[in-house]
Amino acid sequence: MLVGLLIIALFLSVVILIYSQISSESPALGEHVKKMGKETAQVEKNSISSTPTASTSASEVATSIPKKLTVIAVGDILLDRQVGGMIKKYGVDEPFSDVTNILSDADVTVANLECALSTRGARADKEYTFRGNPEWAIGIKNAGIDAISLANNHSLDFGAEALEDTIGTLDKYGIYHAGAGMNSSEALLPATMETDGKKVSFLAFSYIIPNGFLPSPTRAGIAYARSPFALVTNGIKDAKENSDFVILSFHWGMEYKDYPIKSQVELARLAIDAGADLVVAHHPHVIQGIEIYKSKLIAYSLGDFVFDHYSRKTGEAFILRCEIDEEKTLKAKATPVYLTSNGKPQVVVGNEANIILKRLEKISKDLGTNMKIENNEAIIEIENN
């Protein structure tokens, strides 16, 4: 027993001696183990905290990637005369039936309504007055057009009563509108839309102002654009504060002239300077050129779109499609259409497309904008500064 106890004691002494020797040779061993544990825990903690939650990730992506908007714009729409006869014979969708698939392929599609929609009112004392059946407005909606300009020289062709009916009809069918109202304040209001989380303001003004079309605090009228253009620039600035994108529609220019006049160029550039992201226009009944100003697009005249006509040039038009972000125009193209004699737009190809696109290319080049014609479309070359 004594011998056994001595053996156990000797064994324990050896163990203690070995442990002491290891500790003296590597005194930091224990601390190193502890430190490794802390570092491992910290790595795990950092991995968790640096992995964003779903909501944080979406927010970061939203702020880091500029918002983009696709816009389609077309010119004047008339729902009277031969167009009205076509609708009576074939239905409200007939005028747009060949282009609906194109018009529907955008976040926002805009146009100009060149007539009242009403059965009421007295005819204005002017050479041409236009009025369509209010129920025909559903054809505009069905075609994929989201917003309509009422700032033109025909919205009050049948007075305030007819304008009131027009506005009520557009509201009824869920078609946004801007550029006219029952008083001056309403006339200046933008149409505010939201698409995929992007807020869009659509403003419309007319440089063409017939007698009796000016609004007042108590009288209906259209939003007008005349020097010094404070109504335009202030409207843009206000809209810009409350939206991601501002689209401007102008009714202006000389009828049947290929090139914009000085006032058009001045006003278009002023609108861009004030914060507009895109300027589109109409009234001349023929196409005019496209300009890229400060990396943003100006279409001086899109031509007629649904409108009966009596000459080759007035039948030529194009559908403008733009992709823009909050800073510049990213992409743009023009799809040529030719209007039948009763005013129906049809996409054209081959030689018919080239006639329209070559003319658009020539006018635009004189404005400093280059185009590339391919696959029956004109690709507008954007030089972003």
pLDDT tens, the chain, 385 aa long: 444 544 455 455 544 444 444 344 433 333 333 333 333 333 332 332 333 344 445 555 555 678 999 999 999 999 999 999 999 999 999 999 999 999 999 999 999 999 999 999 999 999 999 999 999 999 999 999 999 999 999 999 999 999 999 999 999 999 999 999 999 999 999 999 999 999 999 999 999 999 999 999 999 999 999 999 999 999 999 999 999 999 999 999 999 999 999 999 999 999 999 999 999 999 999 999 999 999 999 999 999 999 999 999 999 999 999 999 999 999 999 999 999 999 999 999 999 999 999 999 999 999 999 999 999 999 999 976 5
> Do you find a cis peptide bond into 134, omega within 30 degrees of 0?
no
CA-based angle 182:188:191, to the nearest 5? 100
C-alpha to C-alpha distance for 378 and 323, rounded to whole angstroms: 15
Asked if residue 26 is part of any domain, the answer here is no
The answer to whether residue 14 sits within a structural domain is no
Distance of CA 384 to the CA centre of its chain: 18
Alpha-carbon Rg for the chain, nearest whole angstrom, is 33
The first and second tokens of residue 96, run together, are 């747009």
Q: Which two tokens stand for residue 28?
A: 């930091």
Per-residue pLDDT at 65: 74
pLDDT at residue 172, rounded to an integer: 98
Which tokens sit at 141?
């909606």
Flag whether 24 is in a domain. no
The answer as to whether 31 is a domain residue is no
In a domain, 362, yes or no: yes
C-alpha distances in Å from residue 134, one per residue of 119, 139, 144, 147, 173: 8, 10, 18, 16, 10
49 part of a folded domain = no
Say how far apart CA 171 and CA 158 lie, in whole Å. Answer: 19
**Residue 327 belongs to a domain:** yes
Calculate the alpha carbon distances from 14 to 24, 53, 142 in Å: 15, 57, 96
pLDDT value of residue 16: 46
Q: Is 75 exposed, middle or buried (0-12, 13-18, 19+ CB in 10 A)?
A: buried
Say what the pLDDT of residue 109 is. Answer: 99
Partners of residue 2 on adjacent β-strands: none
State residue 75 phi and psi, 5-degree precision: -90, -135
pTM: 0.84
The number of folded domains in the chain is 1
Tell me, what's the pLDDT at 9? 52
In this structure, which amino acid lies at residue 109?
T
Which residues, 6 or more positions from 376, have their beta carbon under 8 angstroms from its beta carbon?
A: 335, 336, 347, 348, 349, 350, 353, 357
Q: Specify the pLDDT at position 146.
A: 98
Question: Which CATH number goes with the domain that contains 115?
Answer: 3.60.21
pLDDT for 35 equals 34
At residue 294, the pLDDT reads: 97
The Cα 110–Cα 71 span in angstroms is 8
Domain membership of residue 373 (yes or no) is yes
Q: How many beta carbons lie within 10 A of that of residue 244, not counting itself?
A: 19
Q: What is the pLDDT of residue 73?
A: 99
Domain with 351 in it: 70-380
278 and 322 Cβ atoms separated by less than 8 Å:
yes
Beta strands in 184-259 (DSSP E): 191-195, 198-206, 221-222, 245-251
Q: By CB neighbour count within 10 A (0-12 exposed, 13-18 middle, 19+ buried), where does 265 fall?
A: middle
Q: Cα torsion at 135, 137, 141, 147 (round to 10°)? A: -150
Instruction: Give, to the nearest 10 degrees, the angle between helix 262-274 and helix 230-241.
Output: 30
